Amino acid sequence: MDCYERVSVIGKGPLGLTYKMRNKGTNELVACRIIDRVDEPSGQVRTILEETIVFAPLAHPHIAGCLSLHHDRAKDMFYFVQEYFPCTLHDLLIKHQHSGTYFSEDAIWEVLTQMLLALTFLHSSEGKSVKNCNYEPLIVHRLIHSNLKPSNVMITPDGRIKLVDNRIRQPIRAYLERCGDMSLHYYTAPELYDSEDKWTEAIDVWSVGCIAYHMAALKPPFQAAMLDQVLAQQRAGTCASIPSHYSCDLQKLISSMLTVDCASRPSISSLSSHPHIHLTMDRLSSSSRTSLAVLLT
């Protein structure tokens, strides 16, 4: 890691800090997550680390790439060097909230479509072989992102999105305490607070619905100061409709993803077959400039 110099802290997670770093030779900017105490006695950090490593080699246009992994055994530290993105969907939401301007419907469909493409890839990755932190082979089991929120949706300079920072399977309340980011519960499916047995693809569907709603309404669908208050709102299944200038198609799709009964939520596959998703896929594949790209200028 001597070829990099730290520029600034850009994130804090349950395992450590994420830094913006600069390659001294090429001047390239990267994001580097530094995880320490890999070999602490309880083995919890190592377990989380090894499950996180599963995501590192997965290559997809809408999942942030891992450039390299470094394990400093002498310092008991692990380094994830990833692509660096100067803008997130969270940044754009803050900008729109402050100005009181809504996202175009095309922009919302584009984010929805690209998240669905990324999740289709993740959810179908079972059976792939990767290396653990001892460089031994691991077989990938069913992958669920489970940490979808606006700050984990990166925006590339040309307005495409890439997902980062999956959350491995661990109790949600413990994760919230460990990471210190209580905003995550605005996007976390309510069934996860009842039973870890409900760890299914449906939790990602809920999160995508919350993010799309947030883009349309400029606020999360369920929001309160205390976690129990948010859960009460979620379980009641009542939230205001998105503004009326958006289409009925978008309203219905978002509402379907926010179905409280996880078994009744649409699958990623059925969502991806929506005619407007197909139209958006065609537009994204034929255009070098997206609706989000316009917002970055």
Task: Give the tens place of pLDDT for each residue, 75-97.
Answer: 878 888 988 999 999 999 999 99
Domain that holds residue 21: 4-83
**Among 144, 9, 154, 31, residue whose Cα is nearest residue 82:** 31
Residue 107 shares a structural domain with residue 244: yes
The vertex-197 CA angle with 271 and 54, nearest 5°, equals: 70
Q: For the segment 103-146, what is each residue's pLDDT rounded down to a tens digit?
A: 999 999 999 999 999 999 888 875 555 554 444 555 455 678 88
Query: Looking at residue 184, which CATH number applies to its domain?
Result: 1.10.510.10
Residue 141 shares a structural domain with residue 59: no
Residues paired with residue 71 on neighbouring β-strands, in sequence order: 78
Query: Who contacts 6 (Cβ-Cβ below 8 Å, separation ≥6)?
Result: 19, 20, 21
Query: Who contacts 105 (Cβ-Cβ below 8 Å, separation ≥6)?
Result: 246, 247, 250
* Residue 108, burial from CB neighbour count under 10 angstroms (0-12, 13-18, 19+): buried
| pLDDT of 165 strictly over 60 | yes
Q: What is the β-pairing status of strands 66-72 and 77-83? A: antiparallel
Phi then psi for residue 91, to 5 deg, are -60, -45
Residue 54's pLDDT is 65
CA distance 119 to 192: 18
Residue 72 shares a structural domain with residue 142: no
State the chain's mean pLDDT as an integer.
84
Residue 33 is encoded by which pair of tokens? 């997550």
| pLDDT of 228 strictly over 70 | yes
* Residue ending a domain, choose from 83, 103, 131: 83
Residue 215 shares a structural domain with residue 264: yes
Residue 12 shares a structural domain with residue 128: no
Widest distance between CA atoms in the chain? 59
Alpha helices in the chain (DSSP H): 44-53, 89-99, 105-123, 172-179, 202-217, 227-236, 248-257, 268-272, 275-286, 291-295
Residue 133's pLDDT is 46
Residue 135's pLDDT is 47
Residue 79 shares a structural domain with residue 92: no
Q: How many domains does the chain have?
A: 2
Please write down the long-range contacts of 273-280, taking CB distance under 8 Å and 24 or more positions apart.
274/249, 276/109, 276/249, 276/250, 277/109, 277/112, 277/113, 277/116, 279/109, 280/106, 280/109, 280/110, 280/112, 280/113
* Torsional sign, CA 262, 268, 273, 277: positive
Residue 101 shares a structural domain with residue 39: no
CA distance 62 to 121: 9
Residue 116 shares a structural domain with residue 141: yes
**Ramachandran bin of 96, using left for φ above 0, alpha for ψ from -120 to 50, beta for the remaining angles:** alpha
Query: Looking at residue 20, which CATH number applies to its domain?
Result: 3.30.200.20
Residue 131 shares a structural domain with residue 58: no
* Residue ending a domain, choose from 63, 83, 103: 83
Residue 66 shares a structural domain with residue 190: no
Which of 6-10, 25-29, 59-63, 232-236 is predicted least confidently? 59-63
* Residue ending a domain, choose from 39, 54, 83: 83
| pLDDT of 39 strictly over 70 | no
Rounded to the nearest angstrom, the gap between the alpha carbon of residue 158 and the centroid of all alpha carbons in its chain is: 19
Residue 138 shares a structural domain with residue 53: no
Residue 130 shares a structural domain with residue 13: no
